[in-house]
Amino acid sequence: MIAIASDHAGVALKTDICRLLQSLDIEVEDLGPQDTSSVDYPDYAHLLARAVSDGRIGTGILICGTGIGMSMAANRHPGVRAALCHDAYTAEMARRHNDANILCIGARAIGGGVAEQIVQVFAETPFEGDRHQRRVSKIEREES
């Protein structure tokens, strides 16, 4: 299960990504918004990040114009490791080495095809653990 949310700039891409995830047999919970009326990205970032932080959702995707605002807001929550990714390589490393649990992407910064590659790699890449777990644990220690 992957939860997904956006602001008004990311609604169209969010719709496409929901279809992609469903085609990969991944259940998707769309947290909104459902149309392109102007909204404030922190509201949706906090909604999804709270669900990840408290364990209701394991993985999430946030989309805004650049992905920057969403990543900044999401990373304010304990246990959230939101990664702003611009290509498949950064998505893979965010999962493999950093155990990122929220993917942030910019609808105005990358094309739809690249976004779909990023999402698929993020969804299919496992955390490597081992020496990387030690490093992730150090991130979490600083949160408390």
Is 2-143 assigned to CATH 3.40.1400.10?
Answer: yes
Residue closest to 82 by CA, chosen among 116, 112, 41, 117: 41
Arithmetic mean of pLDDT, 70-79: 97
CA-based end-to-end distance of the chain: 27
* 97 catalytic residue (yes or no): yes
For residue 97, is pLDDT > 70? Answer: yes
Q: How far is CA 79 from CA 54, 74, 102, 139, in A?
A: 8, 10, 10, 9
In the sheet that holds 82-84, the strands lie side by side as: 28-30, 2-6, 59-64, 102-106, 82-84
Cα–Cα distance for residue pair 11/99, rounded to 1 Å: 26
Looking at 64, 77, 85, 104, which residue is catalytic? Answer: 64
The per-residue pLDDT for range 15-60, each reduced to its tens digit, is 999 999 999 999 999 999 999 999 999 999 999 999 999 999 999 9
